[in-house]
Structure 1
Amino acid sequence: MRVLFVVSYPVGQAASQRYRVEQWLPVLEERGVTYTLAPFWSQSAWAVLYKPNHYWQKIVGLVSGFTSRLLLLFKLPLYDFIFIHREATPVGLPWFEWLAAKAFRKKIIFDFDDAIWLPNTTSENNWAAKLKWHHKTGSICRWSHKISSGNGYLRNYALKYNPEVVLLPSVLDTENHYNEQKKQHTQEVVIGWIGSHSTVPYLQLLEPVLQRLEQQYKFKLYVIADKAPQLQLKSLEFKVWQKETEVQELLQFNIGLMPLPETEWAKGKCAFKALQYMALGIPAVVSGVGANVQAVVHGTSGYICTTEQEWYKHLETLFLNPEMRSSMGGAGQAWVRQHYSLQAHRQTFLSLFSL
């Protein structure tokens, strides 16, 4: 069997692609499957993609990406499956997907982990947002052999267009990568968050809660991302995300945060931050939105919050109780291993490649 993975970014750079595509590749290798990864963006284009200005480099990168997709069409006959993560091209019509499915008669596996049929404009992608063709998601679902959706909300959307939908959450390799447990008896309590430029603004939802907490207690707010948050907090410490140190940086946390707004876009989120925390024995305190409600067992592996008062109460409780943090951390780690690990969903992933 030969599989072509049509992805957006260079290998090892984007969390969604790393955890929904790249970490599964050894599983295919064990089965004797050969594969090719075909990113849209080059390494040089990716380096400036979410930075201000650099317009010429972005245009060159966009043209180069479309050229590579055109050339890739001639290689489609070599493959048994075409696995498309999110989209083949970042802007415009789904011409590549249509040609692959209709002209070349290839079996498409379509994977998505966000509500990508909805507009989600940020300051970093505003330049391209006007060229997006968001409603192409439904068409790609119709043309696909099978669909891999990251949570139930996304699955329900895909089922409107195609019955062949598999619910495959974003999972973690708990045997080889996320296999350590946070020691909770520490001199300093660290409340942490990990994410990217697109989700950094969500931290502002907690700014009043954290400011109030700062008035009573001394702690560190540890933020790991590719962009610093704009928060008026004296406890804030920002760290630039690096793949090589991601797990060790997360192990600095005593408590993990995942705030989300009550929006349709946020309902498509796959609770991945919360899963990262829990996999390392860190209690997760999250908004009661979307997949968070299924991922976090309230009162056992963390807390689900709907009001500022609940956020404050649960953060204070965990701050003051290292034994509770430790027991919740252990429960969360066991929960992730059972329900959200690569090992637990191995057969689900392989089922995508059945005829």
Structure 2
Amino acid sequence: MAKKNVLFIVPYPVGMAPSQRFRVEQFFPLLRENAISYDICPFLDVNTWRLLYKNSSSIRKVWGILSGYVNRWLVFFRLHRYSLVFIHREAAPLGPPLFEWLIAKVWRKKMIYDFDDAIWIPNTSAENKPMNALKSFWKVPLICKYATIVFGGNDFLCEFAKESGARRVLYLPTVVDTEGRYGKTKSKKRDSGITIGWTGSHSTLKYLNLIVPVLKRLETEYEFRFVVIADKNPAIPLKNYMFIPWNVSTEIEDLEKMDIGLMPLTNDKWSEGKCGFKLIQYMALGIASVASPVGVNKIIITDGHDGFLCEDPDEWHTALKELILNADLRRSICENGRKRIEQKYSIISQKNVFIDALKS
């Protein structure tokens, strides 16, 4: 078999974005073990990434994006070196799928396309509104058609790819390294009561609004601390609230402060496209998980066995109350959750899907 040399075309700087880190970058050691050589080509550099969603110099942002497009065009001078091109989410953030079309139709390269959100649906927030006005959301089905293989992060995304005319679609959930960074955690010594928490980015902070009324009710009845780990402080009005700025170097340590992890979602198509990464992190680290019964959450969690699925405020209140008061229940939920991740959402459980697709 000819030696594989893969070019990974990704949107973000290496080590910065959870989607890219866990769906692409953490598989790189496996590539080396399987004698697959690779290069990675991000669109954004680190400086532009850090500026993108801040109220800072528009000129610097524009320059950073233009530099990304220049680097994309330069790729074609060395594309002949690669037997396979792997594209995560999109080759470029704005405009039509020109680069994907050139790679697949002009250069006739085998192409794997990976996506883990319903990125064909506009999801506008205050931070991304200017950028979204220039995006071509309609390009996602075309990229699915161009690709040799499409990786979808859940069944909803896989079905969309099939309906778009993809030739071959493989289900690849987002996974964690249960033998490395997400190895079995030490017993948690608690000297300051229960900590409930949530982690995410500025774009998903809106989902916390669904759970704040429940937390306010709970804090009149029980003692607990509520922690948010994110890149922006939502300043939630709770008496025992703590914000921790997200940092890749302390990510695991910060998450382990939680006894109970939350994943509230609205019931809509955008949420159906989510791959439940919060739950996967919580459960891998022995954190009891409570989530909305939306999309893949219903697949990851078996209600009452390895987590709780709650639809209305009363269900959220009941589940959180039971987990606060019952240490044995928390322990059982955590142990079952960890087993679930090891079986279905770990690198070791999905590595053959990833490696075999690159070798095929």
Looking at structure 1, the residues matched to 189 and 332 of structure 2 have their Cα atoms a distance apart, in angstroms, of: 12
Cα distance, 1:240 vs. partner? 0.4
1:143 paired residue number: 146
- The offset of 1:73, in angstroms, is 1.5
- Tell me, yes or no, if the aligned pair for 1:184 and 1:326 is still in contact at 8 Å: no
Q: Is 1:283–2:288 an aligned residue pair? A: yes
TM-aligned CA deviation for residue 69 of structure 1: 0.4
Contact 2:148 2:167 in 1 (8 A): no
SS at match of 1:124: coil
CA distance in 2, matches of 1:209, 1:202: 13
Aligned to 1:345, what secondary structure does the other structure show?
Answer: helix
Q: Which residue of 2 aligns with 1:223?
A: 228
Moved more, 218-227 or 173-182: 173-182
Does the CA contact (< 8 Å) of 1:182 and 1:281 recur in 2? no
Amino acid at match of 1:276: Q
Rounded to whole Å, the distance in 1 between the matches of 2:205 and 2:186 is 24
Q: Which residue of 2 aligns with 1:44?
A: 47
- What does residue 155 of structure 1 align with? 158
Name the counterpart of 1:98. 101
Identify the match of residue 181 of structure 1 among 176, 179, 185.
185
| CA deviation profile, 1:320-343 (whole Å, cap 9, x unmatched) | 011111111011101100111000
Q: For 2:56 and 2:270, how far apart are their aligned partners in 1? A: 27
* C-alpha displacement of 1:163: 3.8
2:10 and 2:282 mapped to 1: Cα distance? 26
The alignment partner of 1:97 has SS state of helix
- 2:340 maps to which residue? 335
How far apart are the structure 1 equivalents of 2:151 and 2:124? 24
Corresponding position: 1:267 with 2:272: yes
> Which TM-score applies when normalising by structure 2?
0.97
Residue 63 (str. 1) matches residue 66 (str. 2): yes
Letter of the 1:47 counterpart: R
Partner of 2:111: 108
Q: Distance in 1 between matches of 2:359 and 2:141?
A: 22
Task: Provide the identity percentage.
Answer: 44
SS state at 1:216 partner? coil
Provide the alpha-carbon RMSD of the alignment: 1.1
Q: Distance in 2 between matches of 1:53 and 1:118?
A: 27
Distance in 2 between residues matched to 1:35 and 1:184, nearest whole Å: 40
Moved >4 Å (runs of 4+): none
**Partner AA of 1:330 in structure 2:** E
> Once the two structures are superposed, what CA deviation does each residue of 1:175-226 show, in whole Å capped at 9, x if it has no partner?
0111133635623100011111111111111011011001111111111010
C-alpha distance in 2, partners of 1:305/1:78?
A: 51
Cα distance between partner residues in 1 of 2:167 and 2:310? 34
1:200–1:229 CA contact under 8 A, matched in 2: yes
Is residue 2:173 matched to residue 1:169? yes
State the alpha-carbon separation in 2 of the partners of residues 60 and 185 from structure 1: 49
Of the three residues 242, 247, 253, the one matched with 1:242 is: 247
2:84 aligned with 1:81, yes or no?
yes
Q: Deviations over 1:275-298 (max 9, x none)?
A: 100001111100000100001111
| 1:253 CA drift (Å) | 0.4
**Which secondary structure state, in structure 2, belongs to the residue aligned with residue 110 of structure 1?**
strand
Structure 2: runs of 5 or more not aligned? none
1:317 to 305, 322, 329: 322
Q: Work out whether 1:353 is the aligned partner of 2:345.
A: no
Residue 235 of structure 1 and its aligned partner are, at CA, apart by 2.3
Q: Paired residue for 2:213?
A: 208
Secondary structure of the 1:199 match is: helix
Whether the aligned pair in 2 keeps the contact of 1:170 and 1:272 (CA below 8 Å) is yes
* 8 Å Cα contact 1:170-1:340 kept in structure 2: yes
Following the alignment from structure 1 to structure 2, what is the Cα–Cα distance between the partners of residues 201 and 83? 32
Change (3 A) 1:182 1:235: farther
Counterpart amino acid of 1:97? Answer: E
**Alignment match, 2:199:** 194
Amino acid at match of 1:165: V
Contact 2:147 2:167 in 1 (8 A): no
Separation in 2, partners of 1:338, 1:181 = 17
Displacement of 1:44 after TM fit?
A: 1.1
User: How many residues get paired?
Assistant: 355
Task: Return the offset for 1:232.
Answer: 2.2
The answer on whether the counterparts of 2:145 and 2:167 sit within 8 Å (CA) in structure 1 is: no
Taking structure 1 as the reference length, the TM-score comes to 0.98
How big is each residue's C-alpha offset from its partner over 1:33-83, in whole Å with a ceiling of 9 and x where there is no partner? 110010000111111111123211110011000000011112111101100
Q: CA deviation at 1:19?
A: 0.1
Q: 1:298 aligns with which of 282, 295, 303?
A: 303
Q: Larger deviation: 230-239 or 26-35?
A: 230-239
In the aligned structure 1, how far is the partner of 2:37 from the partner of 2:269?
38
Secondary structure at the aligned position of 2:156 is classed as: helix
TM-superposed CA distance for 1:153, in Å, is 0.5
Kindly indicate whether residue 6 of structure 2 is the aligned counterpart of residue 10 of structure 1. no
